[in-house]
Amino acid sequence: MPVLDEQGRVEAVAGTARDITERKANEERVRRSANYDSLTGLPNLSLFRDRLDHEIKHALRTGLPLALLFIDLDGFKAVNDELGHAAGDELLRQAAHRINGCVRDTDTVARIGGDEFTVILTDVTREAHIDVIARELLDALGAPFPLGPQNATISASIGISLSPQDSIVPDMLVRNADLAMYVAMYVAKHAGRNAYRYFTVQMHPASPTP
Catalytic residues, by residue number, are 115
Task: Tell me 160's DSSP state.
Answer: E
**4 Cβ contact list (under 8 Å, min separation 6):** 10, 11
What's the CA angle centered on 137, arms 83 and 173, to 5 degrees?
105
H or E stretch at 66: strand 66-74
Helix (H, G, I), strand (E, B) or coil at 79: helix
Task: Give the number of other CB atoms < 10 A from CB of residue 109.
Answer: 21
Is 68 in contact with 52 (CB distance < 8 Å)? yes
Residue 68: other Cβ atoms inside 10 A? 28
Distance, CA of 1 to chain centre: 51
> Hey, what long-range contacts does 76-80 have (CB within 8 A, 24 or more apart)?
76/115, 76/154, 77/115, 79/145, 79/147, 79/152, 79/154
